[in-house]
């Protein structure tokens, strides 16, 4: 029998909160059950297994991040849109490290297609159209942007910038300036 008040949605939110506290890789059905004060077995009427729980958190994180980025992009274009997108991405990663890690999870094609991943791609492509980039250059530029954003926030979260007294926010801003210049001066496709 399902425990009153426990739903797949509540479990997903609780798992996402737990991921932010202890790290996405440390989220287990057992840890979640402890948080609800129930036995592990009672959660299996709401989620099939730990992988389903991880997938649910990943889908939730992608949707939350897409909503944040969309709100930040509203009414912006060009460099202003690039910076708004990047800042929303970085802020989400800093505020929700476990959810951010979940958003990087490899999803099966069907789940990926039904997730907010497409919205991320569409918003990025919209920014790149402002730089007059079309295919195949858009794909290359998307990979550059994601690699830069993900690399920066991952290194920052791991303490990779603590060895130098220069403020990481200044370097972030300068990186976005450099990306804007690169996008405005994108090399012609051979």
Q: For the CA atoms of 112, 117, 119, 122, what is the dihedral angle to 10 degrees?
A: -100
| Tokens standing for residue 38 | 């129930």
How does pLDDT run across 108-117, given as a tens digit for each residue?
A: 999 999 999 9
* pLDDT in the model for residue 38: 79
The domains of the chain are located at 8-184
At residue 4, the pLDDT reads: 52
75: left (phi over 0), alpha (psi -120 to 50) or beta: left
Of 5, 120, 6, 92, the residue nearest 53 (C-alpha): 6
> 64 burial class (0-12, 13-18, 19+ CB within 10 angstroms)?
middle
Whole-prediction pTM value? 0.90
CATH code of the domain made up of 8-184: 1.10.357.10
- Are 105 and 54 within 8 A, CB to CB? yes
Evaluate the omega torsion of the peptide bond into residue 138 and state whether it is cis, within 30 degrees of 0: no
pLDDT tens for 78-113 read 999 999 999 999 999 999 999 999 999 999 999 999
Q: What percent of the chain has a predicted confidence (pLDDT) above 70?
A: 97
DSSP 107: -
* pLDDT tens-digit series, residues 43-75: 777 877 888 899 999 999 999 999 999 999 999
Q: Taking 50 as the threshold, does the pLDDT of residue 170 lie above it?
A: yes
Q: CA 116, 119, 97, 110: dihedral to nearest 10 degrees?
A: 30
Asked if the model's pLDDT at residue 1 lies above 80, the reply is: no
């Amino acid at each position: 029998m399902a425990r009153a008040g426990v739903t797949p949605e509540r479990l997903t939110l609780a798992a996402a909160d737990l991921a932010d506290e202890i790290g996405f890789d440390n989220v287990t059905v057992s840890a979640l059950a402890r948080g609800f004060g129930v036995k592990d077995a009672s959660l299996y009427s709401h989620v099939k297994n730990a992988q389903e729980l991880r997938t649910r958190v990943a889908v939730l994180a992608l949707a939350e991040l897409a909503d944040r980025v969309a709100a930040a992009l509203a009414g912006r274009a060009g460099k202003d849109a690039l910076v708004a997108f990047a800042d929303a991405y970085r802020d989400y990663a800093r505020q929700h490290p476990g959810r951010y890690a979940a958003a990087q999870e490899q999803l099966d094609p069907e789940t990926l297609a039904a997730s907010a991943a497409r919205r991320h791609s569409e918003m990025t492509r919209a920014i790149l159209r402002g730089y007059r980039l079309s295919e195949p250059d858009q794909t290359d530029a998307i990979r550059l942007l994601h690699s830069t954003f993900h690399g920066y926030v991952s290194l920052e979260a791991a303490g990779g910038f603590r060895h130098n007294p220069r403020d990481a926010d200044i370097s972030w801003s300068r990186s976005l300036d450099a990306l804007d210049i690169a996008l405005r001066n994108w090399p012609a496709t051979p």
